[in-house]
Amino acid sequence: MYICLCKGVSDKAIRQSVEEGARSWREVQLETGCGTQCGKCACMGKGITREAIRET
């Protein structure tokens, strides 16, 4: 499912970014571009990032 339409980032891409070493929402943003344009996806992106970090 796409979380960020501006940058075309899926929840899978966020999880993958965490799997590859991102340890904060900021790092996921830098790596995927999620939430860096209109910002509407930030809340959801942050939530998925937290969940992914908890699971690793």
Residues 1-56 that bind ligand FES (CB under 6 A): 4-7, 34-41
Nearer to ligand FES, 40 or 50 (CB): 40
CB of 39 to ligand FES, least distance (A): 5
Rounded Cα–Cα distance for residues 55 and 2 (Å): 20
CB of 28 to ligand FES, least distance (A): 12
Q: What is the DSSP letter of 24?
A: S
Rounded Cα–Cα distance for residues 18 and 44 (Å): 15
Q: What is the DSSP letter of 38?
A: S
Q: Which residues bind ligand FES (CB under 6 A)?
A: 4-7, 34-41
